Amino acid sequence: TTRAGSAGRTLFGCSLFADSQVNRPTLSLSIPRLSSSLVSNPGMLTRFLRGQALIRSSISAAAAAQPQQLLRASTTTTPLQQHFNKFDNKQASFRRMSSEADQIRKGLVGVLADKSAVSTVGRKDVGLTYRGYRIEDLAKECEFEDVLHLLTRGHLPSPAERAALQERLVAGRHLPSEVKTVLEQMPASAHPMDVLRTGCSVLGTLEPEEVDNVKMVKEHEAVIRIGERLMGSFGPMILYWYHFHNSGGLRLDASQYLTPEDSLSQTFLKLLFRSKETPDALHNKVVDSSYILYAEHDFAASTFASRVTTSTMSDVYSCLCTAIGTLRGNLHGGANEAVMHLLEEVPSEAAATDYVNGKLSRREVIMGFGHRIYKNGDPRNAVFKDLSHQLSQKPGGKPNLFAISNHIERMMEEKKGMYANADFYAASAYHQVGIPTYLFTPLFVIARTSGWIAHIVEQRSQNKIIRPSSAYVGPAEQSLPSDFLKSKL
């Protein structure tokens, strides 16, 4: 509060001023009420605490100038003392809350959760590498099976290792009758990611991992073999369900279409189109390259989720089910499907201009752009873009679709300074191959299982349970209302 003839300043309810009539410092105090908004708002709480410190500093200076007038001996507690006595014990707690709030990194942005030797993502002058190999070189020169071996076993395979891996992947195509029964019982309306997650879980009950903490830490071959089994079965699994519900109850017999030499990408395409013919070379290159590009990405949400489950010493199937459920989200694995739905809404470049401008004016998200790590462009995008362009130039290709995609990409760079990520051109590439949109993300699962397995092995080898803390912003400790007290003393 203030009075006529005084000059002062108000600090969080306390006004310190010089009385012009008696020429001594006086304090008029209005104790503020700590509301829940103050406690739950770190910025406001910090300013409050700073104000309290400034009040104390001002009073100390005034007392030093005229101690006799300001600090009179008294047997009673002054309003000022009451104020500080009331809050002194709480301020330490508030300061701790403020300090904790300042340390929060929403989304764990910039937090280094652990060490990893699997991949580099977004490092300056490095880009995306798997075990030290540039992603561009791997996509150009290797097949996915080579990369699978690299990620899970730490080195590129020798011819003998590659042949042995192929045999294991071929054996993994087999679906037990129990799995087929479950796939038939799942409705046609089910999300394909739910189908794969459930199939993974069912297979885990039929072929469980031996849960032995010592072996799980020291012996990793069983984990890798389970991963290979699942990567061999995921394609036949999702396509068995797909054809059963879209081809009049057809029970797909993979052995009718596949040979022991077929790669994982050829397996998927042959079963999708129910063809014994070798897939078109470019179509196969698109699927195989997408497996390589999507195989691994450091501590992405699904990978980190799998490592959290791994850290509890759970079995590998549970770790992978965790990862699949996380990848299902539109902000992670489902992004390429969302991009395709976007492209289906714009029939021309002119329509794309209106679409983008409208989205931006409404501050709506345009899927396929921006990345938490890559601020100057996703290195995988160039590979997907080139493949999409090549497809658009083939007979049966869709040059208009590529042109629309390219137009949207330019607009986003010019208007928002945002760059396309891997999902943007993956959508038009998959579409031109003839893959149904709702099967885009299951392809992601087949690919990323290799990275998940690599991280499960790594987490187990240097395990410590992952258990972060939070900054509590709820109510202070309080007593139960009398109505809830069962015994009244």
Active-site position among 191, 243, 280, 332? 332
Q: Are 195 and 186 in contact (CB under 8 A)?
A: yes
Token readout for 145 is 């099976």
- Sequence-separated (6 or more) residues with CB below 8 Å from residue 136: 379, 382, 383
Token readout for 456 is 């499960």
Active-site position among 297, 423, 431, 455? 423
Token readout for 268 is 């998927």
Q: Could you write out the DSSP letters of every residue in 196-238?
A: HHHHHHHHHHHSPPP--HHHHHH--HHHHHHHHHHHHHHHHHH
Active-site position among 283, 371, 407, 431? 371
| Strand order from edge to edge, sheet including 24-29 | 7-11, 14-19, 24-29
Amino acid at the residue 21: Q
Q: What are the phi and psi torsion angles at 319 (to 5°)? A: -60, -40
Q: Are 402 and 420 in contact (CB under 8 A)?
A: no
β-bridge partners, 11? 14
Token readout for 448 is 């990323």
C-alpha dihedral, 115 to 120 to 124 to 128, nearest 10°: -170
Is 220 annotated as catalytic? no
Is 332 annotated as catalytic? yes
Is 155 annotated as catalytic? no
Mark residue 19 as left, alpha or beta (left: phi above 0; alpha: psi -120 to 50; beta: remaining): beta
Q: Are 323 and 452 in contact (CB under 8 A)?
A: yes
CA 148/CA 473 separation, integer angstroms: 45
Q: Which active-site residues does the annotation give?
A: 332, 371, 423
